[in-house]
Amino acid sequence: MFSFCSDPSSLPDWQWMACYLTTGSHMALYRSVLVVLLLLALAAPLALGMGFLGAMAVRAQARIVRVIGLGYVSMVRGVPDIIFFLFVPLAIDQGVEYARHRVLCPNWPDPVRQGNDFIVCPAAKMPLATDPAWMHDVWGFSLALFAFALVFGAFAANTLNGAMAAVPRAQLETGEAYGMTRAQTFRRILLPQMWVYALPGLSNLWMILTKATPLLFLLGIQDVVFWARELGGQKTGHYAYTHPDWRVWYFLGVLVFYLLLTWISQKVFDRLMIRLNHGQATSGGEALRKAAA
């Protein structure tokens, strides 16, 4: 990046470090931070949406819908997360390629399953071998995003279901006594109040989601943990920037990054909890009223 970086071996310490921290590999490290933040920004609302649908399914009056909701929540909660993080992207990837194979190559003579191999025609590959690298990256990221949303959506469904059950039944009956329909009671009474009970559980779920982002490495995505390990390892004379084993410093930087991220998140959730408790008939709302008095 700098003009004086042509010969790293002849540079003084500060210039050597400036050149070292602006190499292409370090730029990939900095971009991986944005990948983690993008995953969190997209996975959180997706998981919350799936959790809301799951909670509504668990509370549905139709038995078949309730069974589906309970099955989704129970299955995801009862299986180690890493199994889903490895299974879901693979299953979706092969499912999409198989569907494309059936449509685009109907006369393909060979079976798709050949022993342990899954082989489709070249036109059915997703993405195609001729597609640019960024399309492969986007596809892999999308699969990882869906896996995160699916897993954490089940936990969010359980949290939201418990929050809905915590809203006093008397308030719902009062709404019904005033002539509100079930939909109006849900929208005007249950939905606004349940967030007060759901937020502590959702905040914990956000923290767990944040700590789970290093699992991106298992899905073939180069995240901050991957680059910390790669860049921190000992570099011999085969490299332009030789250095001893610096992994402890790189992992310390990753630790600081996650601690800062969770600290900021906790501050945001604290302010949000105060805002939600304002005017509510809860212990938090009562504490706010006493503090104001």
Please identify, in words, the CATH class of the domain defined by 15-292. Answer: mainly alpha
Round to whole Å and give the CA distance between 121 and 6. 47
Give the rounded percent of residues in the chain with a pLDDT score beyond 70: 90
Round to whole Å and give the CA distance between 163 and 249. 42
* Choice between 261 and 287, residue whose per-residue pLDDT is larger: 261
Other beta carbons less than 10 A from residue 71's beta carbon: 12
Digit-coded pLDDT (tens) for 218-228: 777 888 888 88
What does the pLDDT read at residue 14?
Answer: 74
What does the pLDDT read at residue 281?
Answer: 53
SS3 readout for 160-211: HHHHHHHCCHHHHHHHHHCCCCHHHHHHHHHHHHHHHHHHHHHHHHHHHHHH
Q: Which of 82, 57, 98 is nearest to 144 (CA)?
A: 82
pLDDT-derived band at 168 (thresholds 50, 70, 90) equals: confident
Q: What is the mean pLDDT of residues 126-131?
A: 84
Digit-coded pLDDT (tens) for 2-21: 666 766 666 677 777 877 77
Domain ranges for the chain, please list them.
Answer: 15-292
Token pair 């604290």 is found at 270
Digit-coded pLDDT (tens) for 79-124: 887 888 888 888 888 899 889 988 888 888 888 888 778 888 888 8
Give the rounded percent of residues in the chain with a pLDDT score beyond 90: 26
Percent helix / strand / coil, the chain, rounded to 5: 75, 0, 20
For the cut 50, the answer to whether the pLDDT of residue 284 exceeds it is no
Digit-coded pLDDT (tens) for 23-34: 888 888 889 899
Digit-coded pLDDT (tens) for 176-187: 888 888 888 888
Q: What's the chain's average pLDDT? A: 84
